[in-house]
Amino acid sequence: MKTRITELFGIQHPIIQGGMHYVGYAELAAAVSNAGGLGIITALTQPTPEDLAQEITRCHEMTDRPFGVNLTFLPAFAEPPYPEYNDAIISGGVRIVETAGRNPQEHLPRLQEAGVRVIHKCTSVRHALKAESIGCDAVSVDGFECGGHPGEDDIPNMVLLPRAAEELSIPFVSSGGMANGRSLVASLALGADGMNMGTRFIATQEAPVHENVKRTLLSATELDTRLIMRPIRNTERVLNNAAVEEILRIERERIEAGEPLQINDIRHLVAGSENRKVLQQGEMDAGAWSCGMVAGLIHDIPTCKELLDAIMAEAEALISSRLAGMLAA
């Protein structure tokens, strides 16, 4: 399939594996790229820029196809050394970067001078237009269904994607609720040039997470996610568990008492160390972890190649048979 996204990034299928903390390692990124999509290493999962450089080298050893690195600019307890992470990306020969969170403008000159193409994750049309105006090469438009941070506007993809198509000139992909061939065809119909998947890739053979996480996703439904940190406008969609219930309890107590929620009130439940216990050690109630509503569409744990082959086969069948048949009638 040929779209503006496949042309821009030099990939076979218009499917991107979004950056995910403690999931986006070389094993998964290489598997996605080898399957024809665009795999993404998550920079800030690596403790230091030197560790990222080593992870990039590992990925090069596992694939000769394009892959990217995610750099997320979000409120953090300690500011990462972003310039040094950029240096590791560039010196490692990576030519695609997925940025997310705050405006990446200050980092674009260094990246683009090195020939890096930048796709920025956006949760609103106004943010997507800003990304276009500062020179991003593409954007990922994240609907309210997405895992992680969906923004504060609460606009689902059925509205957000066609609005983006009305306004943007640069290529864009859908993100949030994407899992299968239907997702891809719907995204294309709504104006996107491909799709980004996060949660769906956690439930693959190559995803370097604990088996408890994959089994939990298989049993979860679209009703099992919750939104946390709304009172501090850093909303995150997570899968419900004991830690999440405790976070919501603390938030309710602060609201009922007329007191503002402080990040330190819940820090022990949302810190990266607790997220890591869930994803890597399988302690499913240790902390909050990002998960999209798409959990309701996850019914198996295939290899990345099996997943992408199935998505593309279903998409092509829908376009050439079901939709074409409707026109013929």
What's the pLDDT tens digit per position in 21-67?
999 999 999 999 999 999 999 999 999 999 999 999 999 999 999 99
The one-character DSSP state at 230 is: G
Tell the residue number behind the tokens 């609103």, with chain if given. 124
What's the pLDDT tens digit per position in 236-271?
999 999 999 999 999 999 999 999 999 999 999 998
Tell me the helices (H) and strands (E) count for the chain, helix number first. Answer: 15, 10
What's the pLDDT tens digit per position in 210-236?
999 999 999 999 999 999 999 999 999
φ, ψ at 13 (rounded to 5°): -115, 145
What's the pLDDT tens digit per position in 58-104?
999 999 999 999 999 976 667 899 999 999 999 999 999 999 999 99
φ, ψ at 87 (rounded to 5°): -60, -40
Whole-model pTM? 0.96
- Report the amino acid identity of residue 92: G
Q: Say what the pLDDT of residue 183 is.
A: 98
Q: Say what the pLDDT of residue 229 is.
A: 97
DSSP 3-state assignment of 173?
A: strand
Q: Which residues of 214-227 are buried (b: 16+ CB within 10 A; e: fewer)?
A: bebbeebeeebbbe
In 3D space, the residue among 159, 292, 149 whose CA is nearest the CA of residue 233 turns out to be: 149
For the chain, helix, strand, coil in percent to 5 are 50, 15, 35
What's the pLDDT tens digit per position in 275-311?
999 999 999 999 999 999 999 999 999 999 999 999 9
Beta strands in the chain (DSSP E): 15-17, 39-42, 67-73, 96-101, 117-122, 138-142, 172-175, 195-197, 225-228, 236-239
Structure tokens at 25: 């390692």
Q: Say what the pLDDT of residue 328 is.
A: 77
What's the pLDDT tens digit per position in 143-178?
999 999 999 999 999 999 999 999 999 999 999 999
Rounded CA Rg of the chain: 19
The Cα 286–Cα 148 span in angstroms is 17
Q: Say what the pLDDT of residue 77 is.
A: 62
Q: Say what the pLDDT of residue 258 is.
A: 96
Per-domain boundaries in the chain: 4-208+301-328, 211-293
Specify whether the CB–CB gap between 54 and 79 falls below 8 A.
no
Distances from the Cα of 218 to the Cαs of 66, 68, 177, 270, in angstroms? 30, 28, 15, 23
Q: Cβ neighbours of residue 287 under 8 Å, at least 6 residues apart?
A: 243, 269, 270, 271, 273, 274, 275, 277, 278
Q: Cβ neighbours of residue 157 under 8 Å, at least 6 residues apart?
A: 141, 143, 144, 145, 174, 176, 177, 187, 190
Q: Cβ neighbours of residue 82 under 8 Å, at least 6 residues apart?
A: 71, 73, 107
Greatest pairwise CA separation for the chain in angstroms: 63
Specify whether the CB–CB gap between 36 and 12 falls below 8 A.
yes
Specify whether the CB–CB gap between 43 and 89 falls below 8 A.
yes
CATH architecture of 4-208+301-328: Alpha-Beta Barrel (3.20)
- Torsion angle (degrees, nearest 10) of CA 240, 246, 247, 252: 110
